[in-house]
Amino acid sequence: MAKKTVRDIELKGKKVLVRVDFNVPLKNGEISDENRIVEALPTIRYIQEQGGRAIVFSHLGRVKDESDKEKSSLSVVAKRLSELLKTPVTFIPETRGKALEEAIKAMSDGDVLMFENTRFEDLNGKKESKNDPELGRYWASLGDVFVNDAFGTAHRDAASNVGIASNIEHTVAGFLLEKEINFIGGTLEHPERPFVAILGGAKVSDKIEVIENLLKIADKVLIGGGMAFTFFKAMGKEIGKSLLEDDKVALAQSLLERAGGKIELGEDVLTGKAFSSDTEVNVRSIDQIPSDELGLDIGPKTIDIFKSYIKNAKTVVWNGPLGVFEFDAFAEGTKQVALAIAELKPHATTIIGGGDSAAAVIQLGLSQGFSHISTGGGASLEYLEGKILPGIQCVDDK
């Protein structure tokens, strides 16, 4: 379903509530990765250009008791936002009250204001995270229209997304949310074929619903990473000390049966004797994994098999690294697959969803090779599962 965006409403002179995802990593009080701030700039700039008054807010980390407040204040983010926008950003260190209300009243067209971490309200009975109706109503009362641009929290219904949306006349998507909807939602709805899904990561149990959903939609599902070994076990193979979820073997067997040949697991793996960066590396056929070794990456034959499917794809969706990429010796599978996908551009739609998968591709310096790298770990996972995300559902339909 097509959703309204900032382009579809009048912003001039309006108090525009803007929910962004500024949940950036902080090290010693400094922002160690500002990507989430950068990604939100187009929406905020657009609101300024249109003469709207942007009231920006976000969560940051978890706030469980008073002592968490200092290290999760958004003041440092407000400062950086101001530098990046090259505009003053008024920061109000409160989540409600007179000072905030007065500051909003004093805004002129094109101004930007930011208020404090929405999760400070969690100290008061989890009001933000549990979508307390009074809080959603209060925040909604501060603005005229609501722009949701926080994809990273779209899988949760909180007072700062769904709560506001249910108490305000217009809710629209910002450009970042729009991009995620178009790439992930649009691709799952109308994929150009062949559609190859690539799944990896640690555990089958984390990805059951993604596998089920993508099996329905994709033409081929390539499986690597730690989860592959539960499938090998289901095929009756010996997997040594590789990652195994015993209670998921029957499920893996049923998925293999239902997949009717759609699932491809390859033919070989890289193993070591220990889960460590300096263990000796061996290439093993999946029929010959010694009992004292564990599989830590896909092998060279598997890389070639995976590449042969990727080469012809018009759509690729990838979730989960194919090996323990954190160790150089076991990053090759993930790297070769990323390179093969990068070659498809611009003739195919290629998407990465998943926190560690995105991190792996960025770490390998290959992020330019993809059409879209999702900014939400948990949210992209649930989107790929085919779930309806409350933070998207609450946006007005076109």
Strands of 89-92's sheet, edge to edge? 89-92, 112-115, 53-57, 15-19, 145-148, 171-173
- Report the alpha-carbon distance of residue 160 to residue 118 in Å, rounded: 7
Contact 365, 377 (CB under 8 A): no
| Residue 240 contact, options ligand ADP, Mg ion, none, Cβ 5-8 Å cut-off depending on partner type | none
- Report the alpha-carbon distance of residue 133 to residue 126 in Å, rounded: 12
Closer residue to ligand ADP (CB): 78 or 199? 199
Closer residue to ligand ADP (CB): 143 or 320? 320
Write down the residue that tokens 């990068």 correspond to. 342
- Residue number of the CB closest to ligand ADP reads 201
Closer residue to Mg ion (CB): 53 or 156? 156
Residue 367 Cβ, how far from ligand ADP at the closest point, in Å?
Answer: 14
Question: Which residue type sits at 4?
Answer: K
Is 220 known to be catalytic? no
- Report the alpha-carbon distance of residue 292 to residue 237 in Å, rounded: 15
Phi-psi group of 223: left, alpha or beta (phi > 0 → left; psi -120 to 50 → alpha; rest → beta): beta
Residue 194 DSSP label? S
Is 378 known to be catalytic? yes
| Residue 225 contact, options Mg ion, ligand ADP, none, Cβ 5-8 Å cut-off depending on partner type | ligand ADP
**Which residues are registered as beta bridge partners of 223?**
199
Contact 227, 200 (CB under 8 A): yes
| Residue 206 contact, options ligand ADP, Mg ion, none, Cβ 5-8 Å cut-off depending on partner type | ligand ADP
Q: How far is CA 328 from the centre of its chain?
A: 24
| Residue 348 contact, options Mg ion, ligand ADP, none, Cβ 5-8 Å cut-off depending on partner type | none
Closer residue to ligand ADP (CB): 165 or 381? 381
E strand or H helix at 175, and its extent?
A: helix 175-180
Closer residue to ligand ADP (CB): 143 or 266? 266
Residue 225 Cβ, how far from ligand ADP at the closest point, in Å?
Answer: 4
Catalytic residue among 36, 233, 241, 335: 36
Q: Is 144 in the site for Mg ion (CB under 5 A)?
A: no
Catalytic residue among 15, 203, 237, 262: 203
Q: Which residues of 311-325 are buried (b: 16+ CB within 10 A; e: fewer)?
A: eebbbbbbbbbbbbb
Is 236 known to be catalytic? no
Is 261 known to be catalytic? no
- Report the alpha-carbon distance of residue 256 to residue 44 in Å, rounded: 47
Catalytic residue among 163, 355, 369, 377: 355
Q: Which parts of 332-361 interact with Mg ion (CB under 5 A)?
A: 355-356
Q: Which parts of 356-385 interact with Mg ion (CB under 5 A)?
A: 356
Where on the chain is the footprint of ligand ADP (CB under 6 A)?
200-202, 206, 225-226, 243, 295-296, 319-321, 323-324, 326, 354-357, 377, 381
User: Within a 13 Å sphere around the CA of 35, how many CA atoms are in the beta-carbon half?
Assistant: 11
Residue 377 Cβ, how far from Mg ion at the closest point, in Å?
Answer: 6
Q: Which parts of 251-270 interact with Mg ion (CB under 5 A)?
A: none
- Report the alpha-carbon distance of residue 320 to residue 125 in Å, rounded: 35
> Which among 292, 15, 307, 248 is positioned nearest to 142, based on CA atoms?
15
Closer residue to ligand ADP (CB): 179 or 241? 241
Closer residue to ligand ADP (CB): 170 or 241? 241
Please name the residues in contact with 387: beta carbons below 8 A apart, sequence gap of 6 or more: 155, 209
Give the residues lining the site for Mg ion (CB under 5 A).
Answer: 355-356
Report, as residue numbers or ranges, the catalytic residues.
36, 203, 355, 378
